[in-house]
Amino acid sequence: MSDTGTSRAYDRAAARTVASTRPPARRDSRRPGRVVPQHRGPWLQPHERFAELLLAVLSGMRPVHSMLGQTVGKAYDQLVRLAPTTPLRARNTTPHIRSCRSFHPRPGVVEAWAIVAAGDQVRAMAFRLEQGPDLRWRCAAVEVAPRRQG
C-alpha cells in the first residue's frame, strides 16, 4: 500500500514541476495558424516557361549549366555555343518576351517561337520541346535569329 501512496506523491510533484517550468504561452503574431496560399501568378505552359529560361541563359542572366537537366540531345551543345555570344542581351535594358506561341506536330512534341523585345530591338527565338517517358518536358533544339546589320 505504501507503493501506491508513494507513486501518487511523485505524480503530484511531477505535475507541479511541469506546470511551473513550462514556458509562458506564446503571444506573437507569427504563430502557426491558418495557412494563406501564396499568389504565384498565372500558371505557365511548358513552352512559355522554357522561353523564359532560354531568354535568361541567352541574355547572360543565368549560366548555361542551369539548363543541364532540362535539355536533351544536341540542345545543350547548341546552348553552349550560343550563350557566350549572348545573342539576346541588350544594352541598358532588360529583354522580355513579347509573345510566345506554339505548335504541336504530334503528342509529346512542341515547336515554339518567341518574340523577344529589349528597348528598340526585337529578336526571334525558336525551340523544340519533347516530353520524355517521365512526362517531363525537355528542350531538344534552340535557334536564335541572327542580328541584323545596319
Question: 3-state class of 31 per DSSP?
Answer: coil
The cell numbers describing 84, all together, are 557566350
pLDDT of residue 65: 94
CB distance 65 to 125 below 8 Å: no
Taking residue 146's Cβ as centre, other Cβ atoms within 10 Å add up to 9
**DSSP one-letter string for 87-121:** TT--TTS--EEEEEEEEEEETTEEEEEEEEEETTE
pLDDT score for 39? 65
User: Taking the model in full, what pTM does it have?
Assistant: 0.70
Judge residue 90's burial from the number of C-beta atoms within 10 Å of its C-beta, 0-12 exposed, 13-18 middle, 19 or more buried: middle
User: Which SS3 state, helix, strand or coil, does residue 40 take?
Assistant: coil
Rounded mean pLDDT for each run of 10 residues along the chain, 150 residues in total = 59 60 63 63 88 94 94 93 88 92 96 93 94 95 82
Residue 34: what pLDDT? Answer: 62
